[in-house]
Amino acid sequence: MKTDAAVQKSTESKKKNSFKRSSRQRAKASLFAQGEPMIWLTGGGLVVSLMMIAGLMTLIVINGINTLWPKPVDLFVTYDNKPYMGEITRVEHFNPAKSELHQHQEKVNSDAVAYFEKHNGIAKRMLVRTGNFDLSGEHYNWVNEYDVREHTTPEQACVVERTSWGRFYGFPSAFLYNGEVIAQDDNQIWETFNKHHKEVRKRWRTQRKLETHEIGKINFYEEKERLKLREKELKFGIESEQWNTQNDHFKSFHARSQSAYEDIRTEINSLKEENDKYKIRFTTADNKEKIIPLADIVRMYPANSLTFFDRMNIYLSRWHEFLFDEPREANSEGGVFPAIFGTVVMTVIMSLAVVPFGVMAALYLREYAKGGLVVSTIRISINNLAGVPSIVFGVFGLGFFCYMVGASIDDIFFAARLPNPTFGKGGILWASMTLALMTLPVVIVATEEALSAVPNSMREGSYACGAGKWQTIWRIVLPRAMPGIMTGMILAMARGAGEVAPLMLVGAVKLAPELPVDGMFPFVHLERSFMHLGFHIYDLGFQSQNSEAAKPMVFTTTLLLITIVFILNMLAVKLRRKLRKKFVSAKF
């Protein structure tokens, strides 16, 4: 028999061998099997994603906020005595060709070689917004630094934001009233401008309101009377008793409308005649003169002599104009209120349409339908619909909603307006329905997940108390699934509000003078075209005549669209939070 010492020695030897084997096994085990690398990998992926989102948002916020800040005005005079005055919008460094260098050395600037030697062959150029398009035919000019003989910031230089022709840069030389000079000194010109500009612009806004709203109202109601006469003609025939009665009424209404129109026209002419008395004469940097009516000046300021509070006042004024006014200058200036209104209304209508149908479809699939080939095929189709390109939905919306459903509605209810379509064309209703169809799979999938998360024990308890199937769904299942349904609605709103491609086919336009909601019966006009912030961004970036002026506005409009979507989502999230507090057990 082994002694105790031998037994102890054998035990220790086995332990050492076991430890060596386990160490070798751990050494042979895959690095990824231990888990720690995957933690770092997934965490790194999260960090990269957050950095990308933060970088994009930082770019949009910085550029969007800085767009409306008033910049100083610089005056560049080149060696060939050509002046360029305006705001610097971009600075670039480039390597010019040697042929260009020798050309400037021989003809323009004898110091060009020294400039390039000093800067190691790299030149700088500035993109200057020179404006004055009605005089020069150009909005922007590139100015090379090695061409500049003199660079100043004139204290008297003014920026004039006009209702047409874009910005104007010049020096005010005289204030005219009824063709006579009443102020020539700089201080007197500014005092006179500040004294009369507000009242002139107030008359201009009154004139604009009369031209658009009052005359538009007359035309709207006269068109309604004409359509009534047309309906009598289609129903009873021309020269019938009913037609003659309606025709007499139409003639009487037309006479009253013409009288009201003449009164409004007289008032408009009176306002315009008074405003035409006030004008300012400017001198440009290249000694050209330009007389601008005071009514055409939206805003004027001496860019190089502003204090910080003056700049802040102009900045806030521009934001107010951007949020509450209509666009001008091919949408590159002015406001985007019609686009804001159209985006919000379309998103709300889309949400009201997609949520009920999506919830009903999900209820049937989850609570009523029996599993099988048909249900599986429907679920696969719904998932595939979520991956269909949005432009395909736009084509479907144009063909089905506009050309089929809308044309049928026109034939039945609006025959008097044909061949001009009412619902048989793009409008905010069909745009909302198209986006509702596009986001329907998102709502269905989210609702199904929410319904499946409700414990079956709650359903069984309801049945045990004598409740029927629908009573159980209505009183037990749906309230506890509502937070998940709201999640689906939030996702649908976020996707639908930012879509552009379908809207280009079913109702969004570059400029919509009439809002879908106004003060004329029936107050809500779902057949009207509308403006949308997403389409407005596309139009600014790719369809604008003055692309350089529109480029900064792209960031500002994008920031506004993100803010609106964020606000709508926060309202939905707040509602979801209230529902979760009410049904604590429904958290999932």
Do 201 and 258 lie in one domain? The reply is yes
Per-residue model confidence as pLDDT tens digits over 541-581: 887 777 777 788 889 999 999 999 899 888 888 888 887 77
Which of 269, 213, 313 lies closest to 513, judged by CA? 213
Higher-pLDDT residue of 198, 31: 198
Within this chain, do residues 377 and 468 fall inside the same structural domain, yes or no?
yes
**Whether residue 96 sits in one domain with residue 230:** no
**What proportion of the chain, given as a percentage, has pLDDT over 70?**
89
Tokens 């922007």 locate to 140
Q: Using alpha carbons, select from 189, 115, 182, 173 the residue that is nearest to residue 147.
A: 115
Same domain, 134 and 261: no
Pick from 352, 372, 355: which is nearest to 363 by CA? 355
- Please report the pLDDT score of residue 291 as a whole number: 95
pLDDT at 292 over 70: yes
Element (H, E) at 280: strand 278-283
Whether residue 530 sits in one domain with residue 490: yes
Does residue 153 share a domain with residue 187? no
Domain boundary among 227, 251, 276: 276
Is residue 192 in a domain? yes
What domain range includes position 228?
Answer: 180-276
Per-residue pLDDT, averaged over 399-419, amounts to 92
Mean pLDDT of the chain: 86
Domain count across the chain: 3
> Which residues are CB-neighbours of 296 under 8 A, at least 6 positions away?
162, 163, 164
End-of-domain residue from the set 276, 301, 327: 276
Domain membership flag for residue 240: yes
Which pLDDT score, from 0 to 100, does residue 72 have? 95
pLDDT of residue 111: 59
Averaged pLDDT for residues 469-482: 90
Residues 192 and 147 in one domain: no
**Burial degree of 492 (CB within 10 A; 0-12, 13-18, 19+):** buried
* 487 pLDDT tier (thresholds 50, 70, 90): confident
* CATH, residue 476: 1.10.3720.10
Total-model pTM: 0.85
Is the residue at 492 inside a domain? yes
Give the pLDDT mean for 170-183.
Answer: 93
Mean pLDDT calculated for residue range 190-211: 94
| 331 found inside a domain | no
Which one-letter DSSP state was computed for residue 386?
T
- Does 18 fall in a domain? no
Q: Residue 70 contacts by C-beta under 8 Å, 6 or more apart in sequence?
A: 159, 301, 303, 306, 311, 314, 315
Domain shared by 374 and 515, yes or no:
yes
pLDDT > 90: what percent of the chain?
A: 51
Give the pLDDT band of residue 355 (cuts 50, 70, 90): very high
- For 491-534, write each residue's pLDDT tens digit: 888 888 888 889 989 988 888 878 888 877 778 889 999 999 99
Do 355 and 460 sit in the same domain of this protein? yes
Query: Do residue 246 and residue 100 come from a single domain?
Result: no
| Overall average pLDDT of the 271-279 stretch | 95
pLDDT band of residue 439 (cuts 50, 70, 90) is very high
Tell me: the pLDDT tens digits for 135-151? 988 889 999 888 888 99
Residue recorded with tokens 């062959």: 121
Q: Are residues 381 and 496 in the same domain?
A: yes
Residue 486 domain-assigned (yes or no):
yes
- Count of C-beta atoms within a 10 Å radius of residue 381: 10
Q: Are residues 485 and 349 part of one domain? A: yes
Write down the pLDDT at residue 209: 92
Cα separation, 394 vs 435, whole angstroms:
8
pLDDT tier at 277 (50, 70, 90 boundaries)?
very high
Q: Are strands 297-302 and 278-283 parallel, antiparallel or unpaired?
A: unpaired
Q: Among 127, 158, 189, where does a domain finish?
A: 158
166: pLDDT confidence band, cut at 50, 70 and 90?
A: confident
Q: Which residues contact 580 (CB under 8 A, 6 or more apart)?
A: 483, 586, 587
Q: Does some domain include residue 185?
A: yes
Position 3 in a domain: no
